[in-house]
Amino acid sequence: MTSPADLSVVERELSPEEEQFNDLIAKDSRIEPRDWMPDAYRKTLIRQISQHAHSEIIGMQPESNWITRAPSLKRKAILMAKVQDEAGHGLYLYSAAQTLGISREEMMQQLIEGRARYSSIFNYTTPTWADMGAIGWLVDGAAICNQVPLCRASYGPYGRAMVRICKEESFHQRQGFEILLELMQGTPAQREMAQDAVNRWYWPSLMMFGPPDDQSPNSAQSMAWNIKRFSNDELRQRFVGMLVPQAEVLGVTLPDPNLRFNEETGEYDMSEIDWTEFNEVLAGRGPANAERLRRRREAHEDGAWVREAAHEYARKQAERALAASGAVA
């Protein structure tokens, strides 16, 4: 692995803080909020963690679409628990980002003004109940592959938030798998619904790992800083390797006629990913980009008076407490 020192090509004296930082990274230890860190490291983390938080928050929408219509009370309870977990993940992650010197308000503002990114996968729509299964199995499955290595990310608050998040994500993936399994063992209409959802979510879930390694500009630096541990293509291979046996159990077909295990390379051969679609969705032209932002903005604006009330109430209480302590003194 490339050590961070190799990247600083300029030959100069390192400050003691810089040396300590490099030393911590070289030893694969954690960087904590009060440690000195290079500006670029801080910025990279703020960008990555806030994007991750936004993805959790926007990601609540496609699933909350089905809470009121879940077809059994058990499924309703599980779906509510899952979407609520996502709000919780957003909270842990915003808190982790806050330790780097940005406020939640600022991040929220960036999101609703369309200045921040979130995972493009949530710009797809959820027309059927089977989408709840496909999101859990494929989208959360891909998220787990991406996120488990982040539990060892060099920035302490991020890594610790990820440990908890990954634990819950594995429950999410399992419930998605169970939804699909139940559908595949059900009526012909249910089986058709499940296969259709897998067809629609398979490719977008593979795109969640990001562009191929040779086109991923930020990866090298993030790997040097121990934020990223595996390359996009490595993770994508692992994900597909995980899906294939599970698809067999489910009885669904993964929509890639060229997908097969290559004994020689030890990897899965697959069709080219159509990155045009990915780039279109990324550019804001996906099926639900506008709707997702509109809804987030609406919730934020509709709730403004409530947040102001809480703020004002706290201010009055503090004022009263101060007056009371003044009276006592």
Partner 1 sequence: MSGTDFDTHGGDLDVHGQVSVDEVELAEELAGAGITGTGATASADAAEYALRLGDDALMLAQQLGMWIARAPELEEDVALGNIGLDLIGHARSLLHYAGTASGRSEDDLAYWRDEPEWRNAWLFEQPNGDFAHTIARQLVAASYLVELYAALAESTDPTLAAIAAKAVKEVDYHRDHATQWTLRLAGGTEESRRRMVVAIADTWPYIDELFVDDELVERLAADRVAVLPSTLRPGFDAVLDAVMAEAELEPPTGRTAFVASGGGRRGSHTEHLGPLLAEMQVLARQHPGASW
Place of tokens 């403004």: 304
Q: 9 or 73: whose CB is closer to partner 1? A: 73
Q: Minimal distance in Å, beta carbon 91 to partner 1? A: 5
Measured between alpha carbons, how far is 69 from 66 in angstroms, rounded to an integer?
Answer: 5
What's the rounded Cα separation, in Å, for the pair 82 and 214? 35
Nearer to partner 1, 4 or 90 (CB): 90
Q: Which is nearer to partner 1, 144 or 270 (CB)?
A: 144
Q: How far is the CB of 119 from partner 1 (least distance, A)?
A: 16
Residue 64 found at the interface with partner 1 (CB under 8 A): yes
Would you count residue 180 as binding partner 1 (CB under 8 A)? no
Three-class HEC string of the chain:
CCCHHHHCCCCCCCCHHHHHHHHHHHCCCCECCCCCCCHHHHHHHHHHHHHHHHHHHHHHHHHHCCCCCCCCHHHHHHHHHHHHHHHHHHHHHHHHHHCCCCCHHHHHHHHHCCCCCCCHHHHCCCCCCHHHHHHHHHHHHHHHHHHHHHHHCCEHHHHHHHHHHHHHHHHHHHHHHHHHHHHHCCCHHHHHHHHHHHHHHHHHHHHCCCCCHHHCCCHHHHHHCCCCCCCHHHHHHHHHHHHHHHHHHHCCCCCCCCCEEECCCCEEECCCCCHHHHHHHHHHHCCCHHHHHHHHHHHHHHCHHHHHHHHHHHHHHHHHHHHHHHHHC
102 binds partner 1 (CB under 8 A): no
Does the protein bind partner 1 through residue 91 (CB under 8 A)? yes
Site for partner 1 in 125-144 (CB under 8 A): 129, 141, 144
Residue 72, judged by CB atoms within 10 A of its CB (0-12, 13-18, 19+), counts as exposed
Task: List the one residue from 52, 54, 75, 236 that touches partner 1 (CB under 8 A).
Answer: 75
Stretch of 11-19, 35-43, 88-96, 251-259 lying at the interface with partner 1 (CB under 8 A): 88-96
Size of the residue set binding partner 1 (CB under 8 A) = 72
88 binds partner 1 (CB under 8 A): yes
Per rule CB under 8 A, is residue 297 in the interface with partner 1?
no
Smallest gap from residue 178 Cβ to partner 1 (A): 9
Residue 86 Cβ vs partner 1, minimum distance, rounded to whole Å: 9
270 lies in the site for partner 1, by CB under 8 A: no
Give me the 148-177 binding string for partner 1, x by CB under 8 A, dash otherwise. x--x-----------x--xx--xx-xx--x
Binds partner 1 (CB under 8 A): choice among 14, 26, 40, 309: 309
Q: Assess 223 for contact with partner 1 (CB under 8 A).
A: no
User: Could you tell me the smallest distance in angstroms from the CB atom of residue 171 to partner 1?
Assistant: 5
- Using the rule CB under 8 A, which residue among 215, 279, 307, 318 binds partner 1? 307
| 8 binds partner 1, rule: CB under 8 A | no
Q: Indicate the residue among 36 and 230 with the shorter CB distance to partner 1.
A: 230
